[in-house]
Chain A
C-alpha cells in the first residue's frame, strides 16, 4: 500500500504538468474564435491542476524514492489517469458523448491507436480535433521513453536486450549516460521529425491545420484524422506518399534515427536488423497485395491497385491506421494479412505497437534453432541476431511475452463474441486495438467507427489498446501476489 501511495504521489505531479498541455487546444480555440469548447479545456486543465495538487498533498507523507519495480505501477496508473483527465474536455464539449466513448477516444489517442468513436469529424471544432491529435503525439512521446528507458530497465518481454550498456543488437542505443538525457535527446528527434512531417504535408497540399494534426498522428503512428474519410478525403497521391515515408520512419527505432542524424551516416539503418526485416517484409507484402487486388479487379488500373495497396499495407503494418480507401471491401485475405503484419512489423523504440520486430525475429530464430538441434543433438547453437548473441534469458522472456500476447487476444476476442459481435469484427477489432492500429474490419472497418459498439464492447477494446501499449506484462505483473508481498 505504501508503494501505491508513493506512486500516486508521482502520478499527481505528472498530472499537474499535464495541465500545461491544455494550453495547445486553448490557444487553438482562441485562434479560431471557438468560445464554446474553451469551457471543456479550462475545466480539464483545472481538474488536472487541482486533482494533481490534492492527491499530492494527500500523499505527501508517502513520498519516497521509487524502487525499480514500482515503475510497473507507475506506468499503469499514469496511463489510466491521464486518459481519464484527457477525456474531460470531450465529455463536456461534445454533448451526447457518454463517458465510455470519451474515455475510449482519449485512450485511443494516448495509446496512439487512432480508433475513433466519433463521426462528423469534419464538423468538430478545430480545438477538439487538435486535442485528439495532440494526445496521440503525447502518447508517442511517452512510448519512446517507455521503450528506450523504462521497459529495458525492467526487462519486460526481453527488452533487457536494449538495456543501456548491455551487449545486444543495438550497441549504440545508449545515447546518453542518464535516462533523462536519453529521453530528451529522443524527444528532440521526435519533435524535429514532426516539424518536418508537418511541413512536407503542408507542401503536399494539406491546409496548415490539417498538416499539423496529421503530422502529430503520423509520427505517433496514431491514425486519427480530421476528416471522416481520413486520408481518402484528400485523394492525393502526393500526400499519401509523404505519409508513407513518415510512417515508415516513425516505425523505426528512434535511437537509430538519432545515431544516423548525429553521424550523418545512414549505414546504421543497414546494421539495424529490425529496420531491415521490416522494410523487406513490407515491400514484399505491398507487391503481393497489389498483385492480389489487381487480379481481383478491385480497382480500374494497376497504378491505383499499387497506390492503395502500398498506402494501406504501410498504414496498417506500421500500426498507424490511416485510411485512404476502404480496404475492408477488399477480398478478406488482404486486410487479414495487413493485420497480421501489424503484429510483427513495428520496431522497438518506435511509436508502433504489436509484438515488435525484434521479438518476432527471436521467435522465428528460436523455432529454427529447435529444429536445428534435433538434427544435431550435440551442436552448440546460440541464438544470434545480426551476429549478436541473444542470451537464453531474453529468449525465454520473449516467448513468455508472445504467449501472454496471444492469450490476451484470445480472451478479449471471446469477450467480444459473448457480447454478440460477429467473429471477423471481434477478431479484427481486438487485433487492431492491441496492436494500436485503429480500424478493424466489418462493423469496425475502415469505413465505420467504434461508435457502433456497446459500452461493454468499447471497454473491451479500451483494455486491448491499453494492454497492447504498455506491453501486457507490465500490467499483468500487478496481478501476481509476489508483486505486492513485502
Chain B
C-alpha cells in the first residue's frame, strides 16, 4: 500500500515508523524541515520530500497520483484540510485522513460528511488522549482500557497485586471464582516477557495481565486480580494544555478537579472556560503548592504538560507526597518503560494512542480498530469478517482450524449485540467482529491477509 504522510512531527514520525516496518507498505513523508527529513531517512526506510504540504506540486513530487492513503498530520488544521481537498480535487485519492485539532471544526459533524470537506477521517490526538485518560480513571487500577465494537467489549491491562483473590492460583480457577462472568485472559506479561496463558498458568504478583470482558463485567474481573479501589473523586491535573484542559472539562462535573498551570495568561484563560475546576497558577513541581492543595488526599495526580521530564518529576514528587495514583504523559517509549516499573503508576503515551486510531484506517481487510498495547510492543485489533465459506479463510471454521501466526490469538467475537469469548470450538460466521491479540507486530500483514476475502 502506498501511504503519504504530511508533516514529520511527533505523530507523523511515529506513524512513519510503524507503517514502514510493515513490509507491504511504501511510505513517503513530506515536511518543510529538511533536517528532520534527513534524520528520518537515516533511520527509516521511507521516501522524503521537502516542501509545503498542501501545494499541488509538492504533493505530485511525493507521488500523490498513485497514493492509496493520504495522512495529513502537519501542525496546522487548515493545511491538513486543504491538502485533503486538493488530493481529492486533483487526484481522487481514495482515503484521506487529517489531523484536525480545533474543536471549532470537530464539533461540526456536518463538515465531515460526504460532499462537505474532502476529509474521510479526522483524528484529534488531544481528544483521543483525553478520552483514553477519562476511561482509565473510570476503572481505577487499570493500566490500559481499550474499546472494541463501540464499547461492547473492552480489553484491559491490569497489574496483579497480592491482595487479588486469584493471585497465586491457576488461571482455570477464575471460572469458579466468577461463575456468571464470561471473560478471557489474552496475555500475561511477567518481567516484560510474554507468558502464554493456559489453564494451569499460575498468576503471580506483579504480572501484567490483559483480559477481555463485556464492559459491565470489567470491574468484577479486575477485583479478582487486585483489591478493588474506590472510584476516583479528587483529581489533580498538572498542565493546562489542550489535554489537561479537555480532561478537566470532561471530569469537572463528576469529580473534584484541580488544575495547575504555570503560565498566568493560560491559567486565566482556562479558568474562564472551566466551571467547577479550581485553576491554580503555579509550578506543578512546587512542593509547597502541592502540599497546600492537599496532594496527599488526591486519588489521582495526572502530569500532562508538554514536557516529559517535567511530567516525570512532578509525578514522582506527587507520589512521594502521598497522591494515591500518579500518571504521566510520556512520549518516548524508553522513558515509559523506565518509569512504569518505578514510582509512576501509569504512563500515557499520546503517540501510541493516536497511532492506534490512525492504523485502523490504514489497514486492509476491514480492520476497524487497532490499539497499541504496552507502548507499542503488542497490538490488539478488531476485524470484520466478510464473505462466504468458500471465499474467506475464516468463515464457517472453528477457531482451532484457523492457523494464526505465532504470538497471535483470537480472544473474543462480537456477533450483533452478543459478546462471545473465544473457545477452541467457536465457529466464526460472516459479519462477526473478531478481536485479535498480537504480541508480535511483525505478523500484522499475515493477520490482515487472513481476514481479506478472496476475489
Q: How far is it, in angstroms, between the C-alpha of A381 and the C-alpha of B280 when the chains are bound?
A: 8
Residue of A376, A378, A379, A384 near B272 (CB, 8 A) is A384
**Contact indicator per residue, chain A 354-391, by CB within 8 Å of chain B (1) or not (0):** 00000000000000000000001111111010010100
Q: How far is the CB of A223 from chain B (nearest CB, A)?
A: 40
B293 within 8 A of partner (CB): yes
Q: Indicate if the CB atoms of B280 and A382 lie closer than 8 Å.
A: no
Q: How far is the CA of A204 from the CA of B268 in the complex (A)?
A: 55
B297 to chain A, nearest CB (A): 14
Measured in the bound complex, the distance between the Cα atoms of B289 and A66 in whole Å is 54
In the complex the two chains form, is B275's CB within 8 Å of A378's CB? no
B285-312 vs A, CB cutoff 8 Å, 1 = contact: the mask equals 0000100110000000000000000000
- B271 interface residue, CB < 8 Å from A? yes
**In the docked arrangement, what's the CA distance between A378 and B291, Å?**
12
Question: Min CB distance, A237 to chain B, in Å?
Answer: 43
Q: How far is the CA of A74 from the CA of B373 in the complex (A)?
A: 73
**A408–B268 Cα gap in the complex (Å)?**
36
The docked-state distance in angstroms from the alpha carbon of A381 to that of B281 is 10
Contact B271 A378 (CB under 8 A): no
A378/B281 in contact, CB under 8 A: yes
Q: Is B279 a contact partner of A380 (Cβ separation < 8 A)? A: yes
**A134→B314 CA distance, assembly (Å):** 70
| A387 CB, nearest partner CB in chain B, Å | 6
* B232 CB–A CB distance under 8 Å: no
* Interface pair A387/B271, CB less than 8 Å apart: no
| Given known contacts A376-B293, A377-B292, A387-B275, A382 and B281 CB-to-CB distance under 8 angstroms | no
Instruction: Name the distance in Å between B153's Cβ and chain A's nearest Cβ.
Output: 38
A376 touches B278 (CB 8 A): yes
> Which of A379, A381, A384, A389 has the most CB atoms of chain B within a 10 A radius of its CB?
A379
- Provide the A389-418 mask, 1 if CB < 8 A to any CB of B, else 0: 100000000000000000000000000000
A392 to chain B, nearest CB (A): 11
Q: In the assembled complex, which residues on chain A have CB atoms less than 8 Å from the CB atom of B268?
A: 380, 382
Complex contacts, A389 vs chain B, CB 8 Å: 272
Bound-state CA distance A203–B264 (Å) is 61
Q: A376 to B280, Cβ gap below 8 A? A: yes
Question: Is residue B225 within 8 Å, beta carbon to beta carbon, of the partner chain?
Answer: no
- Please indicate the chain A residues that have their CB under 8 angstroms from the CB of B51 in the complex: none
Total contacting residues, chain A, CB less than 8 A: 10
Beta-carbon contact of B275 and A379 below 8 Å: no
Q: Considering the complex, give the chain A residue whose CB is closest to the CB of B271.
A: A380
The interface on chain B, measured as residues whose beta carbon lies within 8 A of the other chain's beta carbons, has a size of 15
Say yes or no: is B282 at the interface (Cβ < 8 Å to chain A): yes
Q: A380 and B293: CB pair below 8 A? A: no
B167 within 8 A of A: no
B267 close to A (CB within 8 Å):
yes
User: How far is A421 from B271 in the complex, measured between Cα atoms in Å?
Assistant: 51
The 8 A CB mask of B315-344 against A (1 = contact, 0 = none) is: 000000000000000000000000000000
Cβ of A378: which chain B residues have Cβ within 8 Å of it? 280-282, 289, 292
Min Cβ gap B202→A in Å is 49
For the complex, give the distance between the alpha carbons of A86 and B442 in Å. Answer: 94
Q: Report the separation of the CA atoms of residues A55 and B179 in the bound assembly, to the nearest whole angstrom.
A: 98
Contacts of B281 in A (CB 8 A): 378-380
- Count chain B CB atoms within 10 A of each CB in A377, A380, A387, A389 and give the residue with the most: A380
For residue B56, give the distance in angstroms from its CB to the closest CB of chain A: 41
Alpha-carbon distance A384/B274, docked complex (angstroms): 10
Which residues 245-271 of B have a CB within 8 angstroms of A?
261, 264, 267-268, 271
User: Once bound together, how far apart are the Cα atoms of A282 and B70, in whole Å?
Assistant: 62
Task: Give the complex CA separation of A389 and B275 in angstroms.
Answer: 11
Contacts of A376 in B (CB 8 A): 278, 280, 293
> Among B267, B289, B292, which residue has its beta carbon within 8 angstroms of that of A380?
B267
* B257, chain A: closest CB distance, angstroms: 12
Cα–Cα distance between A387 and B268 once the two chains are bound (Å)? 14
Q: Inside 8 A of B292's CB, which chain A residues have their CB?
A: 377-378
Q: How far is the CB of B271 from chain A (nearest CB, A)?
A: 4
For B271, the chain A residues whose CB sits under 8 A away are: 380-382
Chain B residues with CB under 8 A of A379:
278-281
The residue on A at minimum CB distance from B293 is A376
A61 to chain B, nearest CB (A): 51
| B residues near A387, Cβ cutoff 8 Å | 275
Contacts of B261 in A (CB 8 A): 380
Give the CA-CA distance A387 to B278 in the complex, in Å: 14
A372 to B, closest residue via Cβ: B278
A377–B267 Cα gap in the complex (Å)? 14
Bound-state CA distance A387–B274 (Å) is 8
Whole-angstrom CA separation of A437 from B190 in the bound complex:
79
Residue of B275, B278, B282 contacting most chain A CB atoms (<10 Å): B278
Residue among B264, B271, B289 having the largest count of chain A Cβ atoms under 10 Å: B271
A residues in contact with B278, CB < 8 Å = 376, 379, 381
Is B280 a contact of A380 with CB atoms below 8 Å? yes
A392 to B282, CA, bound (A): 21
Bound together, the chains give a CA A389 to CA B264 distance in angstroms of 16
Residues of chain A with a CB closer than 8 A to B293's CB = 376
Measured in the bound complex, the distance between the Cα atoms of B280 and A43 in whole Å is 68
Smallest CB separation, A395 vs chain B (Å): 14
Q: Which A residues are in CB contact (< 8 Å) with B279?
A: 379-381
Residues in B with CB closer than 8 Å to A381 are 271, 278-279
Interface string of B5-28 (1 = CB under 8 A from A): 000000000000000000000000
Contacts from A to B (Cβ < 8 Å): 376-382, 384, 387, 389
Beyond the given pairs A378-B292, A380-B271, A381-B278, 4 more chain A to chain B contacts, judged by CB atoms under 8 angstroms and listed by A's residue number, are A376-B280, A378-B281, A379-B279, A382-B268
Sample (18) of A-B pairs whose CB atoms are under 8 Å apart: A376-B278, A376-B280, A378-B282, A378-B289, A378-B292, A379-B278, A379-B280, A379-B281, A380-B264, A380-B271, A380-B280, A381-B271, A382-B268, A382-B271, A382-B272, A384-B272, A384-B275, A389-B272
Interchain residue pairs A-B with the least CB separation, the first 4: A380-B271, A380-B267, A389-B272, A380-B279
